[in-house]
Structure 1
Amino acid sequence: MISLTDSNFLIDGRPITILSGEVHYFRLPKHAWRPTLEALKATGMNTVSTYIPWLIHEEIEGQYDFSGKQHAENDLISFIELVQAMDLYLIARPGPFVMAELKNEGIPYWVREKYPEAISRTWNAQSVMTGTLDYSHPGFQQETRHWFQKVSGVLKPYLQPNGGPIIGVQLDNEVGMLSWVSNSPDITPTTSRLFANWLVNNYGDQLPMVYPKAIVDPIQALGLMAKPTDDYVLQLEYDLGYFNRIRFKDYINNLIDAAKSAGLSDVPYFINVHGTDQERGETFPIGISQLYDLFQLKDVLIGTDIYFGDFTMMSATHLYTLNRFMQAVDGHWPLSTLEFNASSGNNTDHVPLETDASALALKTRLQVAQGTKVINNYLFRGGYNRKLAVPVNDGNSRVGIHGWRHGFGSLLNPEGVPASSLPTIKDVTQKLNHLQTLMGDLRADNLPIKVGFYPDLFMTESVYPNSQLAQAQADNQAINRAQRPWNSLLRALLATKLNYDAYDIQSQSLDINKVPVLIMATGKAMPELCQKKLVAYVKAGGRLILTGELPIQNLVGQPATQLIDYLGVRPEPVKTERWDYFPTIIGENFLEGVPEVRVTFLQSFAVTNGTVFWRELMTRQPVGAFIRRDHGEAAILGADWRFEPMFYLKLLAHFGIKPQFELLPRQSQILVLATGGCFGNFIHILNTDNSETQFKISDLTGSLFNDQWIHVPAKDGLILPTDVQYFDWQLDFATVELSAIDKQQLVFDVHHVDSVIQLTITDGQFLPSQAAWAEIKGETMSIHPKAVGRLVVERQGQIVYSN
């Protein structure tokens, strides 16, 4: 039986972290299946994930092959049975869209040929370079239902509640992604009819006042959608965003209905959100916004697709933040990552993509530290793309876009050769697998700082390319909502151990008891409802930090000044750096004596009854100020102080917030996160730097680890236990990683001899050992390793010894 809570994935009532690797059976010869799964299991993974492509199994309409009659590698049934025989779990991903670097995104060619009107057109009636199909087209939906009926018949006997290995089924893949990345909204006769009906239902008699032409039939709607003019382009983009949220939810509901009617039920349905771009995450909330309505669905676990490169403070900030945004909108279910880019590149297929071998392990550690319970490494092993049964004149006529060989960042290349990152991820995954019972229910513990998330501010997946007005607004939103704050303010907060959370203020009220301090990134445009919520928050006693350009209009270009009116500020035009202009600010009051700082932008403002702490150097106009209103207070940051962690320490201290952890000496390149579970707590330390470091650490209650030094290797991490009670063990703390535990022994990985393991043992004794020595004070036993490597602490009755 599979069940979910807000922080746990449970199998038969037992919390577990799903550690998975993607294996495409259809790209591997059958004789390679077993050694591939053996390698996956040896890596410490407990689950296999695989796409089940419609293109592969019904390449010719009506001719299904799930048993390998047409192509041996199509034998899905044997693959599932092998997974079960090897005591692994399985995540099944039957589409209908699977992408998976397949042509037509895994949709059979005959579907496109049979329903050409389902092939989307877009702005200015242009064709779409990604060749997207309209999810809403009745013919496509009918064929999808037939596909689900067939594939569900294969999968149903192997669901976990039926005694099989399948613990989840993914519905489609990256819904809305193709139209977003190509800036090509689906504009077909079907969508124009649905959009026309939506507009009429939404606006009623007010429709002629909103648009210059009343929408009374699909033909007019088609023209309105395809070639908007500036007098309604912003309104159209806004309405399209809301319409598509509903449309995507309807599509997924249809898939759920098709799956359930075919008997594919009693396991979670997975959906994945896309959005990382060029190894950055600032665009990821666009994907959350597109699928925002799906978060209301029951029995649906919505996970992330994460494609970052090297692990740096910047990429760590992006990964951390998008996870917090996901948890903010989907707090009912645990975090999950359905595609987590594996390896250190593309196994020489794309040499420029090579990244540091430590990156995957560090990113995995960060996921665990944030409470992620499903991690699917994409791809575990590469493979080969066979020829299409019906040839096409596309240059190679193979099923995949990469040609014959398909590596795509796999931990094992198509020939089975491991990538350089395999040893590091194996080390981490094996530990996590061995500690499943101890760590399976961990949840993240952060400070009461919330970063405000308003999904409508990220509703920029469709921007009319022929409108300078639309492009200017989209650019303004992009730079203010994430590009500036994520790369400076939020990075500085993590560097100073001010570990923040996020809060969805669009669907929830702002309760000062839940959100004592709120950070809100603002731009020129902000919805009236958002502004009103921020005003009410400050009135009630909230402490608000505004960063970015101050809002003066809503998202459709109409004046909206509720927030600045309430705060009593009048913003001046934004100034940005140029080759001949260097915006510079100077501090005063609590920043008195801080040298002038050149910044990338600034926005000065006139303010009444405010305490100014930043001024523009040349004009002396206020750029930053504290403003008290009613029971609350706001801090306006009209500039970006680049990467200056100490400023943000002082800023948050003004609101009574201290860092979650303090390191001596200070280490801005180190992340320190906390998790807790029913068996104890863990401190997660990640070193983003290329050099080994050491420090002592304390939290809000005082010194940790008995004031011992913590040693962290370069580009590596530690998961350190504190106050762990498991079986008869009471592990007070360890400054080395625990890699295994059972009733008789503890196993540690010792990286430095200056490490300590402290146990509480009543009347304990420690036998002389070549591996460690011990200090015993009352019931406290401190064990000190004599060498690096594996240290085993064993127990027989009250006697403890190590080897």
Structure 2
Amino acid sequence: MKRVECRDGKFVIDGRERFLFSAEMHYFRVPAGDWFDRLEKIRRAGFDTLSFYVPWFWHETKEGETDFEGRTSPERDLTGFTRLAMEYGFDLIIKPGPYIMSELKNEGLPDWLYMKHPDGIALTSEGKPHPTRVFSYLHPGFLDCVRKWYASIAKAIRESDAIMIQLDNEVGMLHWVTSTGDYSPVALAHFREYLTARAPELLAELEAWSYGKQFGFPLNVEYHRFMRQYFREYLETLSRFMDEECIDLPKIINIHGFDTLEYAKRGKNYPIGVSQLKAAADIPRAVLSGDYYIGNIVHENFTDISISNSIMTAVENPAQPLFSAEFQSGFQHDRPKLMPSSIDLSSLLCIAGGMNAINYYLFVGGRNPEGSGLMGSAHDWQAPIGASGELRGSYNKIKELISTVRPSEKELLNAKPAFDTWFGFISSYYAGEFFAQDGYPFARTKAHRDMATFDGLLRGLFLLNYTAGAVDLEAVEEIDPTKRPILWVFSGPFMPAGVQKKLVRYMESGGRLVLFPALPEREEHGRECAIIRDRLNVEKGKERDWSMARIFGLEINAFYTESYRELSGLSPFGFDEEGSACAFYGSVGQGEIVMLGCGIELEREYKLEVLRRLCEHLGIERNVEIKGEFIDAWLRKGEGVDFLFLNNYDDYDKTITVKTGDLEFEATVKGRAGLIVRLDGSFRERKKFEARKAVF
């Protein structure tokens, strides 16, 4: 094992700061005789790191009988594979589960485990086995088997050039996709302990509950919070098991959430996974990472990556880098057919947003061991290196990207994204995946949060070439207006009381808050709580779904409006169909409130004019100004060297004028391509001279 630290947003390995380019290769899916060929091709592409799962079912077919040396199959020779990978100079990211997903039956668990501990399967609120047969994570019998599995794999990890290990995979995903929690006796016992410490007033309801009944709304809210702590405690337990085996490495917590569509995918639900697992960020040596599967990146979905990157940076340990342990270089289905340009552009966008480590998943295709695949024998994944070893177009795109980054690796690692403005992340708005099973409608909150953020104002900021960082409003003690002078916050009719108080203090101390589209009147449990409304001294009037509004004189269709009365000292700038104020701004202490009680979805981009006017009112300045057709522009600022990223998501070339600081120059960005421009002293002097010649 190597000595690995997380320091100031970077991985530091054996004392050297590293930008990690890692390739995912599943040795158990590639004939052992082809391992040399695949590793050589990975090395030629410029990678320094190799990542792989270690499937429990594959190496321990019978309890207590493990094979890591290839006695029963050459593809089980994990020891030989890791030794070969080290001979090629690769550092290793090892992912021993227990759950590995990866389109395998039982998500990679051995059959004997289910037969040994049938009582360990999670139960639904009806008392039936969970539809995915997921184990209750803290079931003692299950954990005892996991501990023994970790002990059996530990020697291979200790003797390798491992730099990270991954604890499980996508914890909570099986619960989210089925909208079904865990109501097993083990989980309920932990829930009682949680309530005793956090909400004892709800204990009586839980004690009276039985399978088939519903939780009341406040109890259900606490159940969502509890499950997030349950996931954290499980991951902390796995971490302790690794510590017991003297494996002192960063431990990856991998987060799920991008949605499958045909041509392009969306990240609207990614914050659900973040909300489920962000509590694990404070586990010692934990490294949060994300599954980034955007499909083909296009004008309609590129902002989902930008928003997701900002949220991840807000919730993770600030010492760790922004990192994706599963960064799409292929996909499990053959649709959408992934364009190499999409992989290139999504990589450039994430690096622009601060990502300093990427594991391309899946980089090498293969075939599933007999009878183990959920989708049959093939597991080609549209990988840059196909199952037969052929090189695809995405291989050369990634190789070119790595060769572009390497010469400036050190300077890039020490350059951070320059954000123009900030938005607030409230994870409670994404903690509702189990409401449906208790009969509570969550559809309206879900629809409003998605339309107002991923399809609304936050998306619009990026379309107007503003870059936006994020603040985890439920985690920070205070929001410093000198560091984040303007804050955009999506709000539903409820908002945690603590967040409401923070936002009031933020405004009073000089912060400028943009709140949309609802003024909260309740706290997270549904009880009346209108701290912000009371501080503004306004009254709410009518609420409407899907109506017209006039904002800054521009008539728009809105998915939601609410009107206000008693606007003493506040200035309206928007009106609903009846002419009542639905948007206003005004002073609050030393700061300002901008209340947009109007739900704006950018299904028609003429509505960007509303956002443009808001940004002008707030006086937000861009770090990068683009004149000409839209190009997605980002700046990473360092000490003496900055990096400008220009991405063109359209299929034709664009010539633009770029202005950043005192530097202005013309650039041509080819269709479906991006540029990285290194801005150091020589570049600035040359461009200033050329501009002076052009003027005279």
TM-score above 0.5, yes or no: yes
Match of 2:177 in 1: 181
Residue from 258, 262, 265 that aligns with 2:245: 262
Cα-to-partner distance string for 1:201-235 (whole Å, 9 max, x where unaligned)? 3334x346xx5x362xxxx56x2xx4443xx5322
Q: Contact 2:334 / 2:382 at 8 angstroms: preserved in 1?
A: no
CA apart distance, 1:129: 2.2
Q: 1:586 — aligned with what? A: 550
TM-score normalised according to structure 2 size: 0.93
Where does structure 1 differ by over 4 angstroms across 4 or more consecutive aligned residues?
757-760
Q: Could you say which residue in structure 2 is the equivalent of 1:124?
A: 126
Does residue 366 (structure 1) correspond to residue 349 (structure 2)? The answer is yes
Q: For residue 315 of structure 1, report the CA deviation from its aligned partner.
A: 2.1
Correspondence list, 1:477-496, <5 A:
477-496=445-464
CA contact (8 A) 2:256 2:270 kept: yes
Give the superposition deviation at 1:197: 2.5
Q: What are the Cα deviations for residues 139-171 of structure 1, in whole angstroms up to 9, with x where unaligned?
A: 01000000001100121011xxxxxx2111111
Q: 1:454 aligns with which of 426, 444, 452?
A: 426
Provide, for residues 154-200 of structure 1, a one-character-per-residue CA deviation record: whole Å limited to 9, x for no partner: 21011xxxxxx211111111111111111111111111122123223
Displacement, 1:115?
Answer: 0.3
1:599 aligns with: 558
Question: Greater CA deviation, 554-563 or 138-147?
Answer: 554-563
The question of 1:611 aligning with 2:583 is answered no
- 2:435 corresponds to which residue? 463
Q: Name the counterpart of 1:531.
A: 500
Partner of 2:669: 712
Q: Cα deviations across residues 9-42 of structure 1 (Å, max 9, x unaligned)?
A: 1122222111111100001101111111122122
Mean alpha-carbon deviation: is it higher for 559-568 or for 84-93?
Answer: 559-568
TM-score (norm 1): 0.81
Which residue is equivalent to 1:340?
327
Shift of residue 90 of structure 1?
1.1
Aligned to 1:519: 488
2:193 aligns with 197
- Could you tell me which amino acid in structure 1 is paired with residue 396 of structure 2? P
Give me the whole-angstrom Cα distance separating, in 1, the residues matched to 2:15 and 2:313.
22
* Corresponding pairs, count: 681
Counterpart pick for 1:657 among 599, 604, 620: 620
- Taking structure 1 as reference, are residues 45 and 607 closer, same or farther at Cα in structure 2, changes over 3 Å only? farther
Seq. identity, %: 28
Matches within 5 A, 1:39-118: 39-118=41-120
Structure with the largest fraction of helix: 2
Q: Deviations over 1:634-689 (max 9, x none)?
A: 11112244333343233123223122222222x33x21101133461110011111
Q: CA deviation at 1:758?
A: 5.9
Q: Counterpart of 1:236?
A: 219
Aligned amino acid, residue 439 of structure 1: L
Structure 1 residue 116: deviation in Å? 0.4
2:280 matched to 1:294? Answer: yes
Post-superposition Cα deviations, 1:374-395, rounded to whole Å, max 9, x if no partner, equal 21111011111122xxxxxxxx
Structure possessing the higher radius of gyration over alpha carbons: 1
Note if 1:564 corresponds to 2:528.
Answer: no
Instruction: Report SS of the residue matched to 1:358.
Output: helix
Residues 1:499 and 2:499 are matched in the alignment: no
In 2, distance between residues paired with 1:485 and 1:176? 24
Task: Confirm or deny: 8 A CA contact 2:19 2:357 kept in the other structure.
Answer: yes
Q: 1:628 to 1:776 in 2, by over 3 A?
A: closer
Match of 1:428 among 396, 401, 404: 401
Distance 2:138 2:505 in 1: 40
* Partner SS for 2:513: strand
Q: Which residue of 1 aligns with 2:654?
A: 693
For 1:214 and 1:33, locate their aligned partners in 2 and report how far apart those are by CA, in whole Å: 54
1:620 aligns with 2:579: yes
Q: Secondary structure at the match of 1:411?
A: coil
**SS of equivalent residue, structure 2 residue 610:** helix
- In the TM superposition, residue 262 of structure 1 has moved relative to its aligned partner by 1.2
CA distance in structure 1 between the partners assigned to 2:454 and 2:599 by the alignment? 11
Q: SS of the counterpart of 2:168?
A: coil
Cα distance in 1 for partners of 2:76, 2:68 equals: 6
Contact map agreement 2:648 2:673 (CA 8 A) in 1: yes
- 1-structure distance, mates of 2:100, 2:395: 26
Q: Does 1:676 align with 2:648?
A: no
Matched, 1:272 2:254: yes
Q: C-alpha separation between the residues in 1 aligned to 2:280 and 2:341?
A: 35
Mapped partners of 1:207, 1:49: distance in 2: 45
1:709, distance to aligned residue in structure 2 (A): 1.5
Q: Which structure's relative contact order is higher, taking Cα pairs within 8 Å and 6+ residues apart?
A: 2
Report the CA distance between 1:529 and its aligned residue. 1.5
Structure-2 separation of matches of 1:197 and 1:466: 22
Counterpart CA distance in 2 for 1:599 and 1:355 is 34
Give CA deviations for 1:367-417 in whole Å, capped at 9, x if unaligned. 111121221111011111122xxxxxxxxxx11212111123422221223
Q: Name the CA distance, whole Å, in 2 between partners of 1:662 and 1:28.
A: 48
Conserved? CA contact 2:448–2:599, under 8 Å: no
Instruction: Please identify, of 497-506 and 711-720, the stretch whose mean Cα deviation from structure 2 is larger.
Output: 497-506
* Equivalent-residue separation in structure 2 for 1:129 and 1:409 (angstroms): 30
Contact 2:418-2:623 at 8 Å conserved across structures? no
- Cα gap change, 1:717 to 1:607, in 2 (>3 Å): farther
CA contact (8 A) 1:496 1:659 kept: no
Partner Cα separation in structure 2 for residue 692 and residue 525 of structure 1:
46
User: Which secondary structure does the structure 2 equivalent of 1:196 belong to?
Assistant: helix
Give the C-alpha shift of residue 558 in structure 1. 1.7
Deviation for aligned residue 1:604: 2.5
Q: Which runs of 5+ in 2 are unaligned?
A: none
CA distance in 2, matches of 1:415, 1:54: 25
Do 1:480 and 1:549's aligned partners in 2 also have CA atoms closer than 8 Å? no
Q: RMSD value over aligned CA atoms?
A: 2.3
Q: Give the aligned residue type for 2:549.
A: I
Amino acid at match of 2:641: G
**2:413 aligned with 1:440, yes or no?**
yes
What's the secondary structure of 1:81's corresponding residue? helix
Determine if contact 1:369/1:674 at 8 Å carries over to the other structure: yes
Deviation per CA, 1:415-460: give whole Å up to 9, x if none: 223344333222212222343334333321212x220112222212
SS at match of 1:435: helix
Kindly indicate whether the alpha-carbon contact (under 8 Å) linking 1:458 and 1:477 is maintained by their aligned counterparts in 2. Answer: no
Structure 2 residue aligned with 1:415 = 388
Shift of 1:624: 1.5
Residues 510-548 of structure 1, C-alpha deviation per residue, up to 9 Å, x if partnerless? 222222111110012211111122122222222110112
Partner secondary structure for residue 291 of structure 1: helix
Distance 1:462 1:411 in 2: 38
Mapped partners of 1:677, 1:15: distance in 2:
15
Matched residue of 1:660: which SS? coil
Question: Counterpart amino acid of 2:271?
Answer: P
SS of 1:566 mapped into structure 2: helix
